[in-house]
Amino acid sequence: MLALFVLAPVLGEVLGASLRLSYFLQPLRVAAIVCFYGAGVVLIREIAQRWRLSGWGIVLLGCAFALIEEGLALQTIFNPIGMDGEPVHGNALGVNWFWAVVVCGYHVVWSVLLPITVVHLVFPRSSRAPWLSRRSAAVLAVVFACGTALFVAISLLRSDFRLPLGHAAVTIVVAAGLVWASKRCRDNGRVAVAGRVPEPRRVALFGVVAGTVWFVLFLAAFIGGPISFVWWTIGALTFAAAVALVLRRWTRREWTPRHQLTLCFGTGLSAALFGLLLVALDGHLANIAFQCVVLGALIAAYIWMGRQLRSSAMAEG
């Protein structure tokens, strides 16, 4: 549990340079990220285990998680100029539609799925069991609420935008609907089908390419262009669906922990490289050096976990 609590904000915010070295001087921001991500992702994992959810169920919970953060707390889904004063491309009816899709996809993959999968690979024996008692779950729910409140405070301090009550109500209803819908996505066991999965290296490359495309879409939400945001939004949704279908096809075949690890590394590498690009454009040398350390730590962790998986496979063999 502690490993996931720590890893969730690291992979969700530090890896992609949303939380940079210079930002550690802002204790309110750091506390909000640790409380919201750490407690939120652990609770998502606990709900998934107790409700016996499939991967799609976790995806829906991840979308609800993103709506709470970016819709209700930080309000970036509705703020037409963003939190830092940069205009968001494609606002209609008070909603940044393209940004909503891109940021929800980001949180589902990098903030939720990636840390949960990595922790399950490190601790495979406890990956199928609940971790929390009712008391500890209640404590984490309070921590998560505190993180949400801190994000709201940050939003109010950094922006003059105030979320309309109607938008807040709709967001709450949609988030609650996603949680309800996730309960219907039960894991009834996988039925293996004929066919082989690509080699782990190709799976890693797939993760890098898919992640990089998503981060390009991430930038497009602020840069804009001659193409209507409607087409950008449809394109992002279509791309996400295509990636999901490919992964669904692969995971029903000879999908192994090694494939899971390489996919995690590929998607994590795309975030780390994107974060390095951001801090390089910013020009802050300390942030650049820190991001290089983060990138090196990611590679070292991948090598270590690969060796652990090989050792476990040899022991079982």
Q: What sign results for the dihedral spanned by CA atoms 23, 27, 29, 35?
A: positive
Is the pLDDT at 317 greater than 60? The verdict is no
Residue 240's pLDDT is 96
Residue 67's nearest CA partner among 179, 161, 142, 211 is 179
For residues 52-60, average pLDDT: 94
Contact 114, 264 (CB under 8 A): yes
**pLDDT one-digit tens code per residue, 161-171:** 999 999 999 99
Give percent of the chain with pLDDT exceeding 70.
Answer: 95
Residue 159's pLDDT is 87
**pLDDT one-digit tens code per residue, 261-271:** 999 999 999 99
Which pTM does this prediction carry? 0.94
Is the pLDDT at 135 greater than 70? The verdict is yes
Is the pLDDT at 202 greater than 80? The verdict is yes
Q: What is the dihedral of CA 153, 155, 158, 163, to 10 degrees?
A: -120
DSSP-assigned beta bridge partners for residue 95: 92
Q: Which residue has the tokens 């199928």?
A: 128
**pLDDT one-digit tens code per residue, 109-119:** 999 999 999 99
Residue 192's pLDDT is 60
Which of 196-200, 225-229, 242-246, 263-267 shows the lowest mean pLDDT across its residues? 225-229
Which residue did the predictor score with more confidence, 305 or 81?
305
Is the pLDDT at 198 greater than 60? The verdict is yes
Tell me how far CA of residue 110 lies from CA of 209, 228, 252, 274, 300, in angstroms.
Answer: 15, 27, 22, 13, 19
CA distance 212 to 267: 8
